[in-house]
């Protein structure tokens, strides 16, 4: 499968715990995006990378959220001290250099108890 | 801020009927994209519109980009059960790679 891969698919955690998600983009896609989606809403932009550089972060992204893409390939999204309001589907997408068509992964569904 | 509004939120359609979903931005878009998300799935790219007044067709789906590049529509003819899902428009603004998604139109089909 050469699509965008996300791991884990589901994560249940207790409030206050830290969680980390991983995204493997399509090979050779230089841009990688993180979105959050809650029930009945469209994906909401969180941050994006061009190669290893994080070029934009949403104002919605609190200090508890951090993302990395150390070698310009896979990316991780970490949420520290999770809150119940963090419960959502976290989607990763990647796009090729030539055109900004975004290919989404299956997402990681986070439930904070 | 830059925001894309989409209506209606829900569309209940009799199989065989047509329907349209609309998107509107308060500011000019660089391009607009449409995605489909099946229940339990993830958004899947359908099409991108770039030019003012552009119209593109994919079988029973017709996509239109407004002359002012601020609005777009998706029209589906002869709806089938396979059309069930949520259709999102996503706008891209100049000098910006992120997409601003509408809230989506969730389509259900009565056989």
CB atoms A101 and B48 under 8 Å: yes
Element (H, E) at B46: strand B44-49
| Contact yes or no for A60/A46 (Cβ under 8 A) | yes
**pLDDT on residue B25:** 96
B29 pairs with which residues across the strands? none
**Which of B89, B54, B82, B79 has its CA nearest to residue B69?**
B54
| Contact yes or no for A5/A56 (Cβ under 8 A) | no
pLDDT of B31 > 80? The answer is yes
Q: In the numeric block, which tokens belong to residue A30?
A: 């230089």
CB atoms A95 and B104 under 8 Å: no
Nearest chain A residue to B1 by CA distance is A59
What percent of chain B is predicted at pLDDT more than 90? 93
pLDDT of B67 > 90? The answer is yes
**pLDDT on residue B95:** 77
pLDDT of B91 > 60? The answer is yes
Mean pLDDT to the nearest integer, B88-94: 95
Counting as low any pLDDT under 70, the low residues of chain A are 1
Q: Is A69 helix (H, G, I), strand (E, B) or coil?
A: coil
A32 pairs with which residues across the strands? A49, A94
Residue A85: phi and psi, rounded to 5, are -70, -10
- Taking the CA atoms of B5, B31, A30 and A7 in sequence, report the sign of the dihedral they define: positive
**pLDDT on residue A50:** 94
| Residue of A100, A103, A108 to mutate when probing chain B, most B C-beta within 10 A | A100
**pLDDT on residue A98:** 85
**Is A104 within 8 Å of chain B by CB?**
yes
Mean pLDDT to the nearest integer, B28-52: 96
Other Cβ atoms within 10 Å of A71 Cβ, number: 9
Mean pLDDT to the nearest integer, B96-111: 94
CB atoms A43 and B88 under 8 Å: yes
Report the gap between the CA of B54 and the closest CA in chain A (Å): 17
**pLDDT on residue A1:** 52
Residue B94 confidence class, pLDDT cut points 50, 70, 90: confident
* Count of residues in chain B: 111
| Contact yes or no for B109/B80 (Cβ under 8 A) | yes
Mean predicted lDDT score pLDDT of chain A: 94
Q: What is the pLDDT of residues A8-24, one digit of tens each?
A: 999 999 999 999 999 99
**pLDDT on residue A28:** 87
Report the gap between the CA of B37 and the closest CA in chain A (Å): 10
């Amino acid at each position: 499968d050469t699509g965008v891969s996300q791991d884990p698919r589901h994560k249940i955690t207790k409030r206050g715990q830290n969680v980390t998600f991983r995204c493997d983009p399509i090979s050779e896609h230089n841009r990688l995006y993180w979105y959050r989606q809650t029930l009945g809403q469209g994906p909401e932009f969180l941050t994006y990378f061009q190669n290893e550089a994080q070029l934009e972060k949403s104002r919605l992204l609190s200090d508890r959220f951090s993302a990395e893409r150390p070698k310009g390939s896979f990316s991780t999204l970490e949420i520290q001290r999770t809150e119940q309001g963090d419960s959502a589907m976290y989607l990763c997408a990647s796009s090729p250099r030539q055109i900004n068509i975004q290919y989404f992964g299956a997402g990681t569904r986070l439930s904070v108890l | 801020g830059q925001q894309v509004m989409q209506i209606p939120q829900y569309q209940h359609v009799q199989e065989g009927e047509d329907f349209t979903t609309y998107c509107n931005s308060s500011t000019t878009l660089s391009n607009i994209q449409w995605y489909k998300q099946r229940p339990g799935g993830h958004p899947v790219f359908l099409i991108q519109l770039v030019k003012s007044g552009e119209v593109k067709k994919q079988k029973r789906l017709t996509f239109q980009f407004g002359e002012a590049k601020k609005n777009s529509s998706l029209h589906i003819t002869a709806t089938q059960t396979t059309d069930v899902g949520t259709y999102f428009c996503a706008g891209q603004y100049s000098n910006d790679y992120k997409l601003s998604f509408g809230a989506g139109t969730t389509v259900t089909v009565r056989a």
